[in-house]
Amino acid sequence: MSDDVPQSAPPAAPPVNPNEPALAVAEPPELASYPVQLHIQRQEEYSRFMPLIKWLLAIPHYIALFFLGIAAIVVVFISFFAVLITGKYPQGMFNFVVGVNRWAYRVMAYTMLMRDGYPPFTLAPDPSYGVEFDIEHPETVNRWRPLVHWLLIIPYAIIASLIISISQIAVLFAFFTILFTKKFPAGLFNFVHVGLNWNARSQAYQNWMVTKYPPFIWG
């Protein structure tokens, strides 16, 4: 005899909100654990006319980074002998070079239209800006590394240079999409982000700030 009690239907799946952003794709473990980390937050909407003047507004940063860059080159040169003799990258020197790179990547994110807010004039982290950059300080560095890292990085650096060059074309397309729609398309944004990440890993390894070779992984 059939049961007269109606069976309850399974709960309906919640409706999909087309305006809700998709979940971010998990970063490959090799990249998530790599000692060089650069994260840039994409804005939902951008100022329509800021791309026209960002290159001009960034001039004070270019001047500051010119002198900071010279100082960083001197510090890297001194660190060459420090690592060669002691097998350690002095923490103070390391932090200064990381700080200069952190400042530079904020400015690059700004001029490459990825962020609208004006970059802060500081070497220190500033999570409120939406650009985070850091390199994990190695406890020890093999003394031979400064002698050969410039040579070992060549294959990776070639690919990184190609990606960052194509990224410049992606920024050109983004210029027009922001101008007309106030949007930096996610696909273009991610491509530029990958280019900056590869560039950051390449430079860090070249300057013996990391001992792990950068992975040939898109991301």
pLDDT tens track, the chain, 219 positions: 444 434 444 444 444 343 333 334 468 899 999 999 999 999 999 999 999 999 999 999 999 999 999 999 999 999 999 999 999 999 999 999 999 999 999 999 999 999 999 999 999 999 899 999 999 999 999 999 999 999 999 999 999 999 999 999 999 999 999 999 999 999 999 999 999 999 999 999 999 999 999 999 999
* Residue 135 phi, psi dihedral angles, 5° rounding: -130, 130
Residue 213: per-residue pLDDT: 98
Q: Identify the CA nearest to 167 among candidates 204, 135, 197, 130.
A: 197
Residue 146: per-residue pLDDT: 97
* Cα–Cα distance for residue pair 114/31, rounded to 1 Å: 21
CA dihedral for 28, 31, 37, 42, sign (positive or negative) = negative
State the Cα angle at 46 between 38 and 170, rounded to 5°. Answer: 60
- Please report the DSSP string for 47-62 in residue order: -SSGGGTHHHHTHHHH
CB proximity list for 136: less than 8 A, separation 6 or greater: 35, 36, 210
Residue 26: per-residue pLDDT: 65
- Which 3 state secondary structure label does DSSP give 7? coil
* Cα–Cα distance for residue pair 102/129, rounded to 1 Å: 12
Task: Give the residues across from 40 on adjacent strands.
Answer: 131
Decide if 104 contacts 66 (C-beta within 8 A): no
- Which 3 state secondary structure label does DSSP give 40? strand
**HSE-up of residue 107 (Cα within 13 Å, Cβ side):** 21
* Cα–Cα distance for residue pair 129/41, rounded to 1 Å: 9
* Cα–Cα distance for residue pair 187/189, rounded to 1 Å: 5
Residue 27: per-residue pLDDT: 80
Tokens 């001047």: give the residue: 63
pTM of the model: 0.86
For the chain, give percent helix, strand, coil, nearest 5: 55, 5, 40
